[in-house]
Chains A and B, each alone.
Chain A
């Protein structure tokens, strides 16, 4: 029953523990902290997209709600960061129910557009509701969060904190997949008719997973606010929703691990490209953040055209094909032995 997944989780924690010993540069640590936020949101999105088969192109909006709830409640109302994060979760649950109950009755393109439209509405509100969000100027002086009396105001501390939360998110996610509820969700993805024929209450399951994945995003948003101490509407635009979708698709939609790998890879990509710039300076090629949109779009397209199951599956098949000896079965995790 998915033992590989839990071995993977142990490896994950081991890697997280050792990284700050290997990477001492604070800048790179901070890049990895941002990767953690994306990772958390992507794990949630992958549960919705890859397991339940329901698309959302509005998830950045949930990240935004979490971030703004944390920002507003701590700065303007003086709440403690933990309380504000909790309130953000509650708010996101309510919003996800409000939008999810009608939206999840829709399928395919309609659901995609509905979530897209909803995300855009929240973005417009973030820009226009100056009294609450500070408008385009945003909210600043958001306090840092502390844990057991320890203020998490250094990159390294926040690195451990954020990745520990990703680990917890992964643990919950993995448990869920290998459970009655997880099978119900995967059944809905496989055949909604068949799932209903054995008694899976599909509307209820879809809304549950939609809300859960929104909660993952909300927590990612709150963490972002406490780390950066400043928020504006920019990072919660539709482009970020598409980026989250890209991350999940790149790693592999049908595995939570795909979301983790995809989120890390795409979060590190800009750094990698800037690094490459140095090598290509001679030929006049220079990486510039403006290229990100084009690059992300191209990656998403290439993956969808050539590796629709994502990198994990693609590399697995490649290894299986080349190695022959290395027998990597698809859906090995669910072999149920």
Chain B
């Protein structure tokens, strides 16, 4: 292989990695938002992505709605699912143990997975791309326009959330709750409402991830688990609760995975990605970007 071909391959893998990584980053953001508000890791996070993707498929391919309209409806729908989940399974549980909360979110996750299987069947669903599905070339690497959509929407969401958390009252309240719930409550912040909001936002982000990736991966009901586990790994690597860290870690994981699949073995790609995540979890549970002092304060 000549050096130009090698470079082209590399560039190709990096674009693939960015595309995957954006999704992991979004799932990690979803984990972080709920974690910051509640201390809960929501094992159903991956199912939000699946629901987003499948709902979008139905709306665009079944009902032939326009993409922006279907996008909006889908996000609202999944946010509603998130709110229902919080209202009916998290909110009613008083003085829960960590073990019980873990099992509850696992239960919700398999209920959503089972429902998706019944409603949408076991097959993968094709969805049309946001714009053209004709590839074009950048420095010899072939790129789908959808990849640019994914990266663009990720950037928009990150900017949107930065503005939300730093410049709106609600966003600031959520950050306050994340830092110290008791103190926030004493200052008159309704932390129950914040918990609900965190589920809504987190579900919404999951939905967006599902919507933008479906044209490329063809969504099916069973993808939630793997998305959740990789998204969680991403969140841990980035330092649980640290959204910016999660973003960087997501992109990093995506690129490593794409390079691994390209140069080593695509069969074991997921296994290798999980192995890396496990190793980080074992060696540095506070994450690459988190401080180990701070993580000791968390109840793990």
A: residues with CB less than 8 A from B are 49, 53, 55, 57, 102-103, 105-110, 112-114, 116-118, 120-121, 124-125, 128, 238-239, 242, 245-246, 249, 290-298, 300-301, 304-305, 308
Which of B104-132 touch A at CB < 8 Å? Answer: 104, 106-115, 117-118, 122
Query: B109: nearest residue on chain A (CB-CB)?
Result: A297
- Cβ of B282 and Cβ of A113 under 8 Å apart? no
What is the distance, in angstroms, from B295's C-beta to the closest C-beta of chain A? Answer: 10
Residue ID in chain B nearest A308 by CB atoms: B100
Q: B residues 169-186 with Cβ under 8 Å of A?
A: none
Q: Is the interface of B mostly helix, strand, loop or mixed?
A: helix
Partner of A238, one of B99, B117, B225: B225
Minimum CB–CB distance from B37 to chain A (whole Å) comes to 15
Which of A102, A120, A293 is within 8 Å of B229, CB to CB?
A120
List the B side residues contacting A300 at CB < 8 Å. 103, 106-107, 110
Q: How far is the CA of A34 from the CA of B226 in the complex (A)?
A: 28
Q: B98 an interface residue at 8 Å Cβ cutoff?
A: yes
Contact: A301 with B107, CB < 8 Å?
yes
B115, A249: Cβ atoms closer than 8 Å: no
Residues A109 and B229 in contact in the complex (CB < 8 Å), given A117-B274, A305-B92: no
8 sample A-B contacts, Cβ–Cβ < 8 Å, listed by A number: A57-B106, A109-B98, A117-B229, A121-B271, A121-B274, A124-B270, A293-B117, A296-B114
CB-based contact A113/B232 at 8 Å: yes
Q: How far is the CB of A198 from chain B (nearest CB, A)?
A: 22
Name 14 extra pairs, CB < 8 A, besides A239-B110, A293-B113: A53-B99, A107-B299, A110-B236, A116-B229, A117-B229, A121-B275, A124-B268, A242-B110, A245-B106, A290-B117, A290-B122, A292-B114, A296-B110, A301-B104
Q: What is the size, in residues, of chain B's interface with A at 8 Å between Cβ atoms?
A: 44
Partner of A297, one of B110, B271, B274, B300: B110
User: Which residues does chain A contribute within 8 Å of B274, judged by CB atoms?
Assistant: 117-118, 120-121, 124
The interface residues of chain A lying within 8 Å CB-to-CB of B299 are 107-108
Measured CB to CB, the residues of B under 8 A from A are: 41, 43, 89, 92-93, 98-100, 102-104, 106-115, 117-118, 122, 225-226, 229, 232-233, 236, 267-268, 270-271, 274-275, 277-278, 281-283, 285, 299-300
CA separation between A113 and B240, bound complex, in Å? Answer: 13
CB < 8 Å neighbour of A298 from B106, B111, B275: B111
Which residues of chain B are near A117, meaning CB under 8 Å? 229, 233, 274, 277-278, 281
Q: Closest B-chain residue to A53, C-beta based?
A: B99
Given A120-B225, A301-B89, A294:B300 Cβ within 8 A: no
Q: Which residues of B contact A105 (CB under 8 A)?
A: 282
C-alpha gap A291/B115 in the complex (Å): 8
Across-interface contacts of A55 in B (CB, < 8 A) = 99, 102
Closest to B226 in A: A120
How distant is the Cα of A246 from the Cα of B268 in the complex, in angstroms?
A: 29
Task: Report the nearest A residue to B225, measured CB to CB.
Answer: A238
B103, A304: Cβ atoms closer than 8 Å? yes
| Distance A103 CA – B277 CA, assembled complex (angstroms) | 12
- B106 close to A242 (CB less than 8 A): yes
For A305, the chain B residues whose CB sits under 8 A away are: 89, 92-93, 104
Please give, as numbers and ranges, the residues of chain A lying within 8 Å of B232 by CB-CB distance. Answer: 113
Q: Which residues of A contact B109 (CB under 8 A)?
A: 297
Residue of B nearest to A189 (CB): B99
Closest to A296 in B: B110
How far is it, in angstroms, between the C-alpha of A78 and the C-alpha of B282 when the chains are bound? Answer: 38
Q: A57-B106, A110-B236, A128-B271 known; A118 and B118 CB under 8 Å?
A: no
B98 and A108 contacting across the interface, CB-CB below 8 Å: yes
Query: Once bound together, how far apart are the Cα atoms of A295 and B274, in whole Å?
Result: 29
Which interface residue of B41, B103, B109 has the most chain A CB atoms within 10 A? B103
Contact B113 A108 (CB under 8 A): no
- Residue from A102, A110, A239, A292 with most neighbouring chain B CB atoms (10 Å): A110
Q: What's the Cα separation between A245 and B109 when bound, in Å?
A: 14
CB distance from B119 to the nearest CB of A (A): 10
C-alpha spacing A66/B118, complex, angstroms? 32
> B285–A110 contact, CB under 8 A?
yes
The chain A residue with its CB closest to the CB of B97 is A308
B-chain residues with CB within 8 Å of residue A128 when the two chains form the complex? 267-268, 271
Distance, CA A106 to CA B284, complexed state (A): 11
- Given contacts A108-B99, A109-B300, A120-B274, whether A114 and B282 have CB atoms under 8 Å apart is yes
A114 touching B281, Cβ below 8 Å: yes
Give 6 nearest A-B pairs by CB, closest first.
Answer: A294-B114, A293-B114, A297-B110, A297-B111, A102-B282, A301-B107
A192 to chain B, nearest CB (A): 12
Nearest A residue to B269 by beta-carbon distance? Answer: A124
Q: Which residue of A lies closest to B275 (CB)?
A: A121
Q: Give chain A nearest CB distance to B116 CB in angstroms.
A: 9
Write out the residue numbers on chain B whose beta carbons fall within 8 Å of the beta carbon of A121: 271, 274-275, 278
Given contacts A53-B99, A128-B267, contact A106 B114 (CB under 8 A): no
Chain A residues, Cβ within 8 Å of B270? 120, 124
Q: Using Cβ atoms and an 8 Å threshold, which residues of chain B touch A249?
A: 103
* Closest B residue to A102 using CB positions: B282
Q: How far is the CA of A239 from the CA of B106 in the complex (A)?
A: 11
- Interfacial chain A residues near B108, Cβ < 8 Å: 297, 301
For residue B226, which residues in chain A have a CB less than 8 angstroms away from its CB? Answer: 120
- Are A297 and B278 in contact, CB atoms less than 8 angstroms apart? no
- In the assembly, what is the distance between CA of A291 and CA of B111, in Å? 10
The residues of A that contact B233 with a CB separation of less than 8 Å are 113, 117
| Nearest chain B CB to A203 CB, angstrom units | 14
Q: Given A110-B236, A294-B115, is A304 in contact with B229 using a C-beta cutoff of 8 Å?
A: no
CB distance from B227 to the nearest CB of A (A): 12
